[in-house]
Amino acid sequence: MEGSVINIDKKQFQNDLIDWFHTEKRDLPWRRTADPYQIWISEIMLQQTRVDTVIPYYKRFVEKFPTLHDLAMADEEVLLKQWEGLGYYSRARNLQAGVREVAEKYGGKVPGSRKEILALKGVGPYTAGAVLSIAYGLPEHAVDGNVMRVLSRILLIDEDIAKPKTRKVFEEAVTALISHEDPSAFNQGLMELGALVCTPTSPKCLLCPVREHCAAFNEGRQHELPVKTKAKTNKGVNYAMVAIRSGESLLMEKRPSTGLLANMWQFPLLEIAESIGAPGVEERLSEQFKGTVEKAEKITSFKHVFSHLTWNVDGFIAKGVNLEIPENMKWVNAAEMDLLPISGPVQKMKTALTSRGDA
């Protein structure tokens, strides 16, 4: 399998791929900059996230934080608000941690060695190679899902790409194949090919610029690759989400700094065994806040699917009187709430409130 690398006319393969990339590449915002900091941002946002989704976020982000220094100085809540809706929120906090490290240790210049950039928070093997090749023109491998799919077909590699150790096989393949004249176009070309032509289902082989190099195509086996075992099923959790009102204010709660939706804000959330009614909500919250939560009313019910779990949420509205609230909660008015970073489930709750005229 790795032996397949030597069966490729490397120079011809590089030329075919790179020529195609320069001709057919999409005009993406992060391809209009040479700033390593901005390229870094794009690579973080693109992790497990579609190009079309990232584009508007990237534009707003670089406008809000044009330089590495701007992001280093930013308030985390403002940062998370910019990231709201993009998902995987630890990416944003890790990015800022990495940026601050660059500001302190490297005088604000993104380091240009794999060892140094790999040590930055949120930067793994893929992102390190991507920034080094795209921003600095270095012949470093950048193996993502696209690259594994494309090369599994071209080189007829049938190892399970869901297994962590398999990535190394592809890193070695890229190291052997990468163009030293244009590493950036080579790496981006592999990914662009995966996105536009060598797609997971229905690969457009007749449009492929490197099909004559492709072992899978030559054997008619492109649909068999890549080999990828499937993930586990996700579990469900039941919650009561409660918008507690006092005058013109609503009670909001900041989530813990680790784990799911870290540091994001939400309406107070009760984990429940089964669906509980409004009386149950009043009882549990009154006890929790050592006050009175009354006039609870269910206003919505929805499901929110995460990667590995599902929230089944019953949404309530209620009134709070003389509540003792903990450190991680605060009363906010409508304008203040708009500044808080919130996740998908809270967004759904907010929509239910708004359509009802209660927020």
Give catalytic residues, as residue numbers. Answer: 43
Give bridge partners of residue 293 from the DSSP assignment.
Answer: 320
Q: How far apart are CA 351 and CA 358, in angstroms?
A: 10
Site string for DNA, 180-199 (x = CB under 7 A): --------x--xx-xx---x
Residue 274 contacts residue 237 (beta carbons within 8 Å): no
CB of 307 to DNA, least distance (A): 3
Nearest Cα to Cα of residue 272 among 330, 304, 217, 315: 315
Residue 158 contacts residue 228 (beta carbons within 8 Å): no
Nearer Cβ to DNA, position 304 or 319?
304
Interaction of residue 32 with DNA, rule CB under 7 A: no
Candidate ranges 9-17, 162-170, 268-276, 325-333; the one touching DNA (CB under 7 A): 162-170
Interaction of residue 28 with DNA, rule CB under 7 A: yes
Interaction of residue 23 with DNA, rule CB under 7 A: no
Residue 217 contacts residue 206 (beta carbons within 8 Å): no
Give the distance, in angstroms, between the CA of residue 56 and the centroid of all CA atoms in the same chain. Answer: 14
Give the distance, in angstroms, between the CA of residue 78 and the centroid of all CA atoms in the same chain. Answer: 18
Give the residue, chosen from 22, 60, 163, 204, that forms a contact with DNA under the rule CB under 7 A.
Answer: 163
Nearer Cβ to DNA, position 124 or 326?
124
Cβ atoms < 10 Å from Cβ of 168: 12
CB of 59 to DNA, least distance (A): 15
Interaction of residue 344 with DNA, rule CB under 7 A: yes
Interaction of residue 260 with DNA, rule CB under 7 A: yes
CB of 150 to DNA, least distance (A): 9
Give the distance, in angstroms, between the CA of residue 79 and the centroid of all CA atoms in the same chain. Answer: 15
Binding positions for DNA, 52-91, rule CB under 7 A: 52-53, 85-90
Q: Determine the size of the site formed for DNA (CB under 7 A).
A: 59
Whose tokens are 């006039």? That residue is 295
List the Cα angle 342/348/350 in 5-degree steps.
70
Give the residues lining the site for DNA (CB under 7 A). Answer: 28, 42-43, 46-53, 85-90, 94, 121-128, 130, 144-146, 149, 163-165, 188, 191-192, 194-195, 199-201, 228, 230-233, 259-262, 304-308, 343-345
